[in-house]
């Protein structure tokens, strides 16, 4: 299945010098023409924050039956619970009323098997070592468990009793819950 975002630029676009960003801006103009303010508050209706991988195969709203305004969505490579994710969750809970956290990793993740050697390679290439960790993993289930534990033990979060983790199967679209140890 090809989506408009997945289709390649036409030769007309290449001739005119249009970029993917140009196409996105044009799409936004059409969106804005039909847009009406939904009158929503920044507080998610379902009081939930979803932390997930940035993988383009994960359509979280569709997969979880969510509508605009239902949740906060925090995404990064691997759905890793980093300091910045804890920062976002803390703001989500303390300033905007969320009480539940859903963690979603997925099958076939690009971080699976990626090691800190990636940072070494970057340092050799660009002459500067990244300050961030790669956070690669070998076992997706164990990484979900680790993520659950990071959220549950954060001193900054008010609500850590409803933290659940899942692996999304990119072939079937199904979530598989991972129980903490």
Q: Determine if residue 168 is left, alpha or beta; phi over 0 gives left, psi from -120 to 50 gives alpha, anything else beta.
A: beta
pLDDT digits (tens, 9 = 90+) for 34-53: 999 999 999 999 999 999 99
Summarize the confidence of residues 158-168 as an average pLDDT.
98
Average pLDDT score over the chain: 92
8 pLDDT exceeds 60?
no
Q: Which of 39-43, 52-56, 156-160, 170-174 has the lowest mean pLDDT?
A: 39-43
102 membership: H or E segment, kind and range: strand 100-106
pTM as predicted: 0.87
What is the model's pLDDT at position 2?
Answer: 45
* Residues ≥6 apart with Cβ < 8 Å to 107: 140, 167, 168, 169, 170, 171
Rounded (10°) CA dihedral 118, 177, 102, 31: 80
Rounded Cα distance between 45 and 84, Å, is 23
Q: 10 forms bridges with which residues in the sheet?
A: none
pLDDT tens-digit series, residues 82-124: 999 999 999 999 999 999 999 999 999 999 989 999 999 999 9
- Label residue 18 by pLDDT band (50, 70, 90): confident
| Model pLDDT, residue 6 | 52
């Amino acid at each position: 299945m090809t989506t408009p975002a997945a289709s390649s630029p036409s030769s007309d676009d290449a001739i005119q010098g249009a970029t993917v960003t140009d196409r996105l801006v044009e799409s936004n103009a059409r969106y804005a023409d039909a847009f009406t303010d939904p009158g929503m508050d920044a507080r998610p209706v379902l009081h939930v924050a979803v932390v997930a991988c940035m993988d383009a195969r994960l359509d979280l709203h569709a997969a979880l039956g969510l509508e605009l305004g239902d949740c906060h969505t925090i995404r990064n490579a691997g759905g890793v619970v980093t300091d910045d994710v804890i920062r976002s969750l803390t703001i989500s809970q303390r300033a905007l009323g969320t009480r539940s956290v859903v963690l979603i990793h997925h099958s076939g993740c690009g971080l699976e098997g990626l090691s800190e050697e990636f940072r070494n390679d970057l340092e050799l290439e660009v002459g500067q070592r990244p300050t961030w960790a790669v956070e690669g993993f070998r076992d997706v289930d164990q990484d979900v468990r680790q993520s659950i534990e990071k959220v549950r033990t954060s001193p900054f979060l008010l609500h850590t009793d409803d933290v659940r983790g899942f692996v999304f199967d990119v072939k079937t679209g199904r979530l598989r819950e991972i129980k903490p140890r």
